A and B are shown apart, each in its own frame.
Chain A
């Protein structure tokens, strides 16, 4: 059996966890910096086009009546969605006492932070005068004006900023013991860096007692928060009367889609990382298999939601809804909706096969398809619904221009650059929790695969 030639994970010790984490964070080589430079180049490109957009106005984009929301809002929803799986894996699975989360949650949480930061940029990019975005914040001002708290856009401001604060604090609190560990085993400027960040943590019994309680409560708060954030995002659309958007199922269905795309993004990041950083001992097939199951489950819920939407359109026989629906799937841009169904509902069905769930290549390919599919879904919902609203005389399909495309590409660069820099300076796997669950890690290494009997 293949398990026999696998490396030393059977006797994996606490120090092995430390060594692996240290190896991951060792000073980087040329390839790494080339990669970061490439990402930075994408950011610069996007930044240049944004600067041009600010200077010239939003007219440089493909926006125009009736599609005044398109790629930027799609990107916003996409990145917020990516963020959600991090909170799901770190908080919800923590409350469920799920064991496989330990190896992947730090990666997912880090992804959350940078995805929220990226997402938060897009409503600002979409503003004509982006420097006034703080007007959404309620504060006593000389204009004697307050934001309209009934507006879903104001909800967004509150939800996204609460989410960013909470997930940053959640990540930081979880990082403190690991940073203290790094402080103890590093030298030079890194030691100073970690000494400051660790806040003098020593892991005494009273510290751990407060830590555990704070962590549990943070998880308890993060769980309803993650539901609310993407629900609020969905209500940006669902509260409108636009056909194709006004639908009560949007809130839970957006949350589910967010987790779906987010878990796929975790796989997209984790699979190459796992190989290049050689952390197969810490992130085993068992972990990947479980992650794939979450993707499969959420994919099925997506299918259910698409199905219900279609059914209700047909059931009520509302002519406008039927028209929008027909346009969505069989209209000029129908190929986008068909592609979305393929990527989100059909291709993930491969994950029903246990063999596919343990094959990293297949997992990687599926995760890419899911990412594409979920981006398409938001585009179809937003740009597609607006393009074919109640008045056929106003119909106009939206086609993106170079500015939106490059700013979107730049956002990927921004996200990947931040993430890559993080991996070199802070531990990307939770050393503390891996040690706590080391017996599970050993089992996962020894038994290798949950479908086979232990060797």
Chain B
């Protein structure tokens, strides 16, 4: 990140935090991260605007997982039936109708595993170190905005954050 200090602003409402992000974006400052106690739509929208993120890549992993699962189900059921082709009740050796159930369950199972593993992987979890600027209140009742900046810009950024309604802004070494 560019800069040698960071400013930690804390906000009482998510709206104020989102406003601060917009103000920073307006001032061409985009090197920041936010912390919030719950997924705030307002903050997400503001951040998306700055970073140009689309929807989370998690869904691609889920699609891939679901597809793999369905295929596994098909191969396992049909494959083992062909391998051991015993006639039960005059049914076809590979009777797709009941196999749909197995295929479906495995599709769900693999899709879910895809969702959870990609969520962990893409969110950088498990994380063994706390990222700097995190405060315990950001998990409880405050919204945090941590901005990396050069020493000279600090005053301007602090003013922007306070204008947007920051409760407090703390400077610390990055």
Q: Report whether A214 and B116 are in contact in the complex, using a CB–CB cutoff of 8 Å.
A: yes
Interface string of A197-227 (1 = CB under 8 A from B): 0011111111111111110011001101100
Q: For residue B143, which residue of chain A has the nearest CB?
A: A203
A13 at the interface (CB under 8 A from B): yes
The total number of A-B Cβ pairs within 8 Å is 183
> Closest Cβ of chain A: how far from B39's Cβ, in Å?
4
Q: Which of B33, B88, B123 contacts A148 (CB 8 A)?
A: B88
Known: A214-B58, A217-B62. A15 touches B140 (CB 8 A): yes
Contacts of A143-179 to chain B: CB distance below 8 A: 144-146, 148-150, 154-155, 158-159, 161-162, 165-166, 169-170, 172-173, 176-177
For the complex formed, measure the closest distance between the CB of B89 and the CB atoms of chain A, giving whole angstroms.
8
As a 0/1 sequence over residues 114 to 151 of chain B, the CB contacts with chain A under 8 angstroms (1 = contact) are 01101110111111111100101111110000000000
Partner of A173, one of B44, B62, B119: B119
Given contacts A207-B124, A433-B38, contact A146 B83 (CB under 8 A): yes
Judge if B68 is at the interface, Cβ distance under 8 Å: no
One of B73-81, B154-162, B165-173 at the interface: B73-81
User: Counting CB contacts under 8 A, is A318 at the interface?
Assistant: no
DSSP class of B's interface residues: helix, strand, loop or mixed? Answer: helix
Measured CA separation A225–B112 after assembly (Å): 11
Give chain A nearest CB distance to B22 CB in angstroms.
14
Question: Is B105 in contact with A212, judged by CB distance below 8 angstroms?
Answer: no
Distance between B99 CB and nearest chain A CB, rounded to angstroms: 6
User: B53-88: which residues lie under 8 A (CB-CB) from chain A?
Assistant: 53, 55-59, 62, 66, 76-77, 80-81, 83-84, 88
Asked if B47 is at the interface of the complex by the 8 Å CB criterion, the answer is yes
A450 to chain B, nearest CB (A): 25
A205 touches B101 (CB 8 A): no
Known contacts A166-B112, A210-B123; A181 and B140 CB within 8 A of each other: yes
The distance from the CB of B47 to the nearest CB of chain A, in whole angstroms, is 5
- Check B102–A158 contact: CB distance below 8 A: yes
Q: Is the CB of A150 within 8 A of B91?
A: yes
Distance to closest chain A CB from B118 (angstroms): 7
B9: CB under 8 A from chain A?
no
A138: Cβ under 8 A from any B Cβ:
yes
CB < 8 Å neighbour of B120 from A14, A184, A199, A222: A199
From B39, B62, B99, B109, give the contact of A166 (CB < 8 A). B109
Establish whether residues A144 and B58, one from each chain, have CB atoms under 8 Å apart when the complex forms: no
Residue numbers of B with Cβ under 8 A of A are 33-40, 43-44, 47, 53, 55-59, 62, 66, 76-77, 80-81, 83-84, 88, 91, 95, 98-99, 101-102, 104-106, 108-109, 111-113, 115-116, 118-120, 122-131, 134, 136-141
Having A169-B112, A221-B108, A432-B39, one finds 8 other A-B pairs with CB under 8 Å, namely: A146-B84, A204-B34, A205-B34, A206-B122, A218-B115, A221-B62, A228-B105, A436-B38
Q: Which residues of A contact B (CB under 8 A)?
A: 13-15, 18, 138, 144-146, 148-150, 154-155, 158-159, 161-162, 165-166, 169-170, 172-173, 176-177, 180-181, 183-185, 199-214, 217-218, 221-222, 224-225, 228, 232, 235, 432-433, 435-436
